[in-house]
Structure formats: C-alpha cells, structure tokens
Amino acid sequence: MINAVVSTHVMKVAQNGITETDDVLATEAPLQIQLMYENITQQISVTMRTPGSDSSLATGFLFTEGIISSYKEIEFVELTETPEGSIATVHLSATSQPQLKQINRSFVSTAACGVCGKTSMEDIHTAISKINTTTTFHAEELFRLPETLHQQQALFNTTGGLHAAGLFSAKGELLILEEDIGRHNAVDKVIGSAIKEPAIDRSTCLLLLSGRAGFELIQKAAMAGIPFIASIGAPSSMAVDMATKYNITLIGFLKAQRFNIYSLPERIICK
C-alpha cells in the first residue's frame, strides 16, 4: 500500500533569510478502477487520488456514477499494486446488472476534475430521484460542524494540502470522515463507506465539504440520497440549481457563527 504522505526536502525563502528543511506532502497517485463480472474484466476509470480507503473510493465511484445501484451487488474488492500504479478490481455478484451504458466514455479523472471524460451534456445529467425528508437541523448544531471536521483532518493538519468530506448524523455526530487530494474522491470515499453500513440512514444525514460545492459533488450526494449538503466555501450556480431540483438543502460559507442557505431553508431551524 502506498503511503498517503511523502517527505521531501525544501528550501524556504523569506525576507529575513533562507532555510532548508524537510516537509511532508500529500501523495497523488493513480488508481485504476475495474469491474469483474461474468468472468470479464471491464476497465472503468483511472483517477488521481491520495492512497487510502481505495475500496471505498472504487465502491463510491461506481455507485455515484450509476454503474451499480446497491452495495449488495458487490462480492468483494480486490486491491493490487503494479509498477504502473494501484488497481481496485470490484468483483460483482452473479445477479448484478451493471449499467455499462454509463461507461461508454473514457473516465480519466485528475485530482481536480470530477467530470473528466464526459463528452456530452447528457453525460452530466444522471437520473436522480428527488429527496424527501422530515429531518431538520438547528443552526447551533451547524455552527459546530466545521471545527469537528477540522479536528479530525489528520492528513490535512500534516500536509495542508487535502480536501475533506464528512458525513454527519441529524444529531451532529461525525459518522464518516475521508480526505483526498481530489474533493470528488473524498466524497466518493464517504459514500462508498456509507453504503456499506445498513445502520446509516443517509436520508437523515448531512454531507460537509471542506472547500467549495460544485455541481458534481451535489450530484454524487443526490445519488446517495443525502438531503443536506454544507460547504466551508462557496457553491456554484449549477450546484444551487441542482440542489433545488433534487430537494437538497444547500448551505455555503459555513463558519462558526454564520452561513448562507441557498435552497430549501425551511429544513434549518434558526431560532
């Protein structure tokens, strides 16, 4: 298994002088995701990611892209290392019916790109049901979430160079935290972990993003049936449109004392 961080030697330049020291960087390395079904190996994607939780990343990617519809379709995930990079082979059950039409394009994702390989407008609009929930969040609970997330970001606190995604319960409990150099990978890791756990009711959860909220992250959360998304940074216009379309409460600029609500504000109790 490749380490999530690597050491390097750096020269630090400041107005008062130059120093040489060692520094720690987040690892960026390729992961090939492929399916094994009916004795056929089908290559799906190559993504640049931070090593760690590769099984969850592969599972979450297949789920959020609509290639599989349930974790029950997976028998096991086989992780192997080659001189060229890492491979996650997802072995599907005999009853699985993977939606291979979803992979008629080349999925090649950099750490910064969640939609690379999508070649038409139809490719970025996946069939998603509207999310209905009776769950609400109190504003006071939301104010505490950024610090809770930050305290658990071990790799970010070491390198300063990773995105994080956290899944919170309606009580404000951090259920799953994942970090990655790619924000979409962090979300796929969270969702891949969540769909493995029957005890997690995603229809009552909130997904917190350490950076901005682009439409591709809203789409992934919508595929997982998550009705609340909050981001430390700004949402994009398409993120707001998509959240509204799928009945997701979208919160941006979440800080310890303030936040903005961009869609379905009635689910947030502000008194």
pLDDT per position as a tens digit, 4-16: 999 999 999 999 9
Beta pairing class for 206-209 and 163-168: antiparallel
Q: With pLDDT > 90 as the criterion, what percentage of the chain qualifies? A: 82
254 marked as binding residue: yes
Would you state the pLDDT for residue 79? Answer: 98
Do residues 268 and 260 lie in contact, with contact meaning Cβ atoms separated by under 8 Å? Answer: no
> Cα 119 from chain centroid?
22
pLDDT for 203 beyond 70: yes
Rounded Cα gap, residues 249 and 61, in angstroms: 23
Report pTM.
0.91
258 marked as binding residue: yes
256 marked as binding residue: yes
Would you state the pLDDT for residue 127? Answer: 67
Torsion of CA 9, 13, 16, 18, to 10 degrees: 40
b/e string for 211-224 if b means 16 or more Cβ within 10 A?
ebbbbbbbbbbbbb
Q: Phi and psi (nearest 5°) for 116?
A: -60, 140
Would you state the pLDDT for residue 119? Answer: 46
Range of lowest pLDDT (108-122, 149-163, 233-247, 249-263): 108-122
pLDDT per position as a tens digit, 245-261: 999 999 999 999 999 99
Do residues 55 and 42 lie in contact, with contact meaning Cβ atoms separated by under 8 Å? Answer: no
102 C-beta neighbours (distance < 10 Å), count: 16
pLDDT for 113 beyond 90: no
Give me the chain's average pLDDT, please. 92
User: Stretch 192-199: mean pLDDT, rounded?
Assistant: 97
Q: With pLDDT > 70 as the criterion, what percentage of the chain qualifies? A: 90
253 marked as binding residue: yes
All structural domains of the chain, each given as residue ranges with its CATH number in brackets, are 29-124 (3.10.20.10), 137-269 (3.40.140.10)
User: Stretch 64-89: mean pLDDT, rounded?
Assistant: 96
pLDDT per position as a tens digit, 26-56: 999 999 999 999 989 999 999 999 999 999 9
Would you state the pLDDT for residue 125? Answer: 57
> Which residues have a catalytic role annotated?
113
**pLDDT band, very low/low/confident/very high, at 118 (cuts 50, 70, 90):** low
User: Stretch 225-249: mean pLDDT, rounded?
Assistant: 98
178 C-beta neighbours (distance < 10 Å), count: 27
Rounded Cα gap, residues 228 and 202, in angstroms: 10
Would you state the pLDDT for residue 126? Answer: 60
Q: Which residue has the tokens 């929930």?
A: 133
Can you say whether the dihedral through the CA atoms of 231, 154, 56, 61 is positive or negative? positive
170 C-beta neighbours (distance < 10 Å), count: 17
